[in-house]
Amino acid sequence: MDVRLLRIDSRLLHGQVTTNWAKAVKVNRILIVSDRVAEDLTRKTLIIQAAPPGIRTNVITVEKMIRLYRDPRFDILKPMILVEDPVDAKRVVEGGIKVESINIGAISFDTTRIMVTDAIAVNAADVEAFKWLHDRGIKLDVRKVSSDSSKNLWKSLSEKGLV
């Protein structure tokens, strides 16, 4: 399996993903990897309906993603993997999915999180996951769309005194 993009975005599948990223990285499948969404029939249905025409989209658990990645029957896939948060991204990489960088689009603010960029809020678990990923040499690339200039999330976390 040739993973074209691993993206963290709490919104998962939306216009920027369907109109820009899917074309820019030339995927033939979009995999929404989330235990929470896989168990929520309403969210799952809505997300699949938002898929761009011509690109098959599946919602699967983290465990199933890891199994599929190891299965040679799925070597023809060139997917974009979308996860909701850094913890799920870490779980995917821990499970053996190979990536050199992770794109971070947006992580929604809530009462447990602090803003580190205009679109990214983190809590302690997120910072821990980002640290784990960074320590393995994975670039943390902040871009909403592929044509945006790349910003290094690690630098933003460092400037905020979080790492």
Q: Report, in this order, helix, strand and coil percent for the chain, each rounded to 5.
A: 40, 25, 40
CATH code of 81's domain:
3.40.35.10
Q: What is the mean pLDDT of the chain?
A: 95
Q: Which structural domain range is residue 111 located in?
A: 5-159
Per-residue model confidence (pLDDT) at position 15? 81
Active-site positions read 14
- pTM score, two decimals? 0.94
Q: What's the pLDDT tens digit per position in 2-58?
A: 999 999 999 998 887 777 899 999 999 999 999 999 999 999 999 988 888 889 999
From residue 136, alpha-carbon distances to 66, 90, 99, 101, 106 in Å are: 18, 11, 10, 10, 22
The token pair that represents 108 in the structure block: 């929604």
Number of domains in the chain: 1
- Tens digits of residue pLDDT in 107-118: 999 999 999 999
The pLDDT, as a whole number, for residue 54 is: 87
Question: What is the number of residues in the chain?
Answer: 163
Strand-pair partners of 80:
5, 30
Q: What is the mean pLDDT of residues 143-160?
A: 94
